[in-house]
Chain A
């Protein structure tokens, strides 16, 4: 059902977060007009997070996966090949696993999960940004992009600035 809708996603907006919100609302209707609270319990995400996602906010990655799982979609089904960032190796692998005719959705997701875990543990960590962040729990997509851009600028400036306490 939902895969057809996913295929309509705008090329510039590979994961349409507003559509994710609409899918959540539609799924609540489909499951007998579930309340947001009941849906949040079923999906195992905080109530506030699900409420904000339904209004178009971007959840954190763990909650995104839980919501998509609750919708009955492997996360990889949300992505179209041209939009998968090649730097994210586990997601590329997961995408191909999800389309392997020899695997059920559950098996593909299980293998993808193992790959993600191994990759997180074994991949070099000095390439990316290592940051603790005190911020909102959900983001509107524009704010999340802007914040990521600013954090990268901050890190770059700090790396080139000699230690000087303020």
Chain B
């Protein structure tokens, strides 16, 4: 990840949350953020046959999470997989919104030699993951939860995000370590 991005992302997330009128430690209703940004959200089964989605999952389980379309009339639409849990879907929507906030490149599908190739920019994916985490679980919220002794599962349940997202944020933000050190300091005294 490029130097300075993490700090930039924390600030961007704080600004974005403030625009929604959220306190730094408040729960983020991600669909409200989408509405605020004029992004429409659809479940994939509203657009394509359920049987086709089931076939896709049979061909490769868990292959599709979400997609963001930029339509010719200027609309931006996020489509999510209806078979994922609510927490996972919220994390996926946040990830897609992060791509939009960061103005990441949109990639086209390429048909080559009879195969469909998808392009992927690992650096941009990493950036979107990081910003999504900052939007859903900012440091102030994590600190409050960590000092209250909440584990990733409890945080995921309470804030409707995926458990991997909660675990990732607790570890990567350094909050878990901060809470553990504070606790051991209190015990020593």
- Interface status of A130 (Cβ within 8 A of chain B): yes
* B62 proximity list for chain A (CB < 8 A): 136
- Interface status of B92 (Cβ within 8 A of chain A): yes
> Is B47 touching A131 in the complex (CB atoms < 8 A)?
no
CA distance A80 to B47 in the complex (A): 36
> Which of A23-31, A33-41, A85-93, A98-106 participates in binding chain B?
A85-93
> Is A143 touching B66 in the complex (CB atoms < 8 A)?
no
Determine the interface band of chain A, counting residues with CB < 8 A from chain B: 35 or more
Render A41-70 as a binary contact track against B, CB cut-off 8 A, 1 for contact: 000001000000000001011111000000
Q: Kindly provide the distance from the CB of B101 to the nearest chain A CB, expressed in whole angstroms.
A: 12
CA distance A79 to B63 in the complex (A): 27
CA distance A87 to B109 in the complex (A): 12
Interface residues of B in 86-122 (CB under 8 A from A): 92, 95-96, 99-100, 104, 106-120, 122
> Which of B18-26, B36-44, B141-149, B163-171 participates in binding chain A?
B36-44
Question: When the two chains form the complex, which single residue of A88, A133, A165 contacts B41, counting CB atoms closer than 8 Å?
Answer: A165
- Interface status of B59 (Cβ within 8 A of chain A): yes
If the complex has contacts A61-B110, A129-B108, are A150 and B48 also in contact, measured as CB distance less than 8 A?
A: yes
If the complex has contacts A132-B96, A133-B107, are A147 and B41 also in contact, measured as CB distance less than 8 A?
A: no
Determine the interface band of chain B, counting residues with CB < 8 A from chain A: 35 or more
CA distance A130 to B108 in the complex (A): 5
> Is B106 touching A130 in the complex (CB atoms < 8 A)?
yes
> Is A60 touching B120 in the complex (CB atoms < 8 A)?
yes
Interface of B is mostly: mixed
Closest to A57 in B: B60
Question: When the two chains form the complex, which single residue of B64, B67, B110 contacts A132, counting CB atoms closer than 8 Å?
Answer: B67
If the complex has contacts A15-B114, A165-B41, are A143 and B69 also in contact, measured as CB distance less than 8 A?
A: no
> Is B41 touching A61 in the complex (CB atoms < 8 A)?
no
Closest to B60 in A: A143
If the complex has contacts A125-B108, A150-B48, A166-B41, are A144 and B69 also in contact, measured as CB distance less than 8 A?
A: no
CA distance A91 to B65 in the complex (A): 30
Question: When the two chains form the complex, which single residue of B65, B113, B117 contacts A78, counting CB atoms closer than 8 Å?
Answer: B113
> Is A134 touching B63 in the complex (CB atoms < 8 A)?
no
CA distance A133 to B92 in the complex (A): 10
If the complex has contacts A130-B106, A137-B120, A165-B40, are A85 and B112 also in contact, measured as CB distance less than 8 A?
A: yes
Question: When the two chains form the complex, which single residue of B43, B52, B71, B95 contacts A134, counting CB atoms closer than 8 Å?
Answer: B95
17 A-B contacts (beta carbon < 8 Å): A17-B115, A62-B120, A85-B113, A88-B110, A132-B107, A133-B66, A135-B67, A135-B118, A136-B60, A139-B63, A141-B115, A142-B59, A154-B44, A157-B47, A157-B48, A158-B79, A164-B40
